[in-house]
A and B are shown apart, each in its own frame.
Chain A
């Protein structure tokens, strides 16, 4: 586990605020940190190299761009087949998230995929396709009924 220095924590906190929609959006966080824009951009690139920042993301609201049918599909995969199945699911464009998780006796599912589709029919077809291509027969689709909360994690409150 990487430990953060005080400086990088300051940088991460300044970057927690979404960027303003202005010609030079990096100027404000750079000012807060007390470095030049060039320096901040170099720091972000460095964090990207280290894997701390995946990318500077333009984040859309799924529901609003026409993805009305979303399902968390949970799969029961034999231990030896997890890596291979993860790779197969990775290549499905409708899959946005694919995680291996620990299972329980009353809940034997260990591979989790989030699927976004325009309609329930489309979602169903994608899931059936995944079952076919992976050969995984035990799975369950948990359709999203309602969104209770969806926020950007605020590092200042978590760290």
Chain B
């Protein structure tokens, strides 16, 4: 559980990690604590699963990766097996159950359009479900995760 103090600290941090040789020292200076204390704080956040990771956010389209959001109408009795088929692909990074007749929503990314289409064909074939919406990205207006806590 995060204390008020923890939340205050996270607020000061998000969401950009400094590009410098001692990034935690920079963050620590901003927050008025020591570098060591800042690293300890990050380790605590990671243990508590509040922090997922620190890594570059790639714009995959810039390096030729094609992605789409896919919605599927999956009957409840086929749900478990279908999720297993979908999640087995490393190309699927997010997969959610949503409140709608189109109940399964996932993102698929691949190095080429051909590969992306092949993955979806494979999912259709293995699951036996044909009711699928392939929602290709036309324009990104916003892609960011910034919150006030």
A contact set with B: CB distance below 8 Å: 1-4, 12, 15-19, 21-26, 37-38, 41, 44-45, 47, 50-62, 64-67, 72, 82, 86-87, 89-90, 93, 95-102, 104, 107, 110, 112, 116, 140, 142-155, 157-159
A54 B22 Cβ-Cβ under 8 A: no
Chain A: minimal CB distance from B14 (Å)? 6
Chain B: minimal CB distance from A152 (Å)? 6
Residues in chain A near residue B4, CB distance under 8 A:
none
B55 A67 Cβ-Cβ under 8 A: no
Does B143 sit at the interface, judged by CB under 8 A? yes
B146 A96 Cβ-Cβ under 8 A: yes
11 extra A-B contacts, CB within 8 A, seeds A58-B54, A148-B95 = A3-B64, A23-B39, A25-B24, A25-B54, A52-B58, A52-B59, A52-B62, A55-B17, A61-B52, A90-B141, A143-B98
Chain B 14-53 near chain A by CB (<8 Å), digits 1 or 0: 1111111111110000000001000100110010111111
B51 A60 Cβ-Cβ under 8 A: yes
Residues in chain A near residue B98, CB distance under 8 A:
72, 142-145
B interface: dominant SS:
mixed
A54 B143 Cβ-Cβ under 8 A: yes
B96 A148 Cβ-Cβ under 8 A: yes
Q: Please name 9 pairs of A and B residues whose Cβ atoms are closer than 8 Å in the assembled complex, sorted by A.
A: A58-B17, A60-B50, A60-B51, A65-B2, A116-B145, A143-B98, A144-B96, A148-B83, A153-B60
Residues in chain A near residue B51, CB distance under 8 A:
58-61
Residues in chain A near residue B20, CB distance under 8 A:
41
Does B139 sit at the interface, judged by CB under 8 A? yes
Of A23, A64, A153, the residue contacting B24 (CB under 8 A) is A23
| Cβ-closest chain B residue relative to A2 | B62
Residues in chain B near residue A152, CB distance under 8 A:
52-53, 55, 93
Known: A21-B43, A99-B141. A57 touches B49 (CB 8 A): no
Report the separation of the CA atoms of residues A38 and B21 in the bound assembly, to the nearest whole angstrom. 7
| Cβ-closest chain A residue relative to B25 | A23
Of A26, A110, A146, A157, the residue contacting B97 (CB under 8 A) is A146
Chain B: minimal CB distance from A61 (Å)? 5
Residues in chain A near residue B62, CB distance under 8 A:
2, 50-52
Report the separation of the CA atoms of residues A157 and B77 in the bound assembly, to the nearest whole angstrom. 31
| Cβ-closest chain A residue relative to B90 | A157
| Cβ-closest chain A residue relative to B43 | A21
B50 A57 Cβ-Cβ under 8 A: no
B14 A112 Cβ-Cβ under 8 A: no
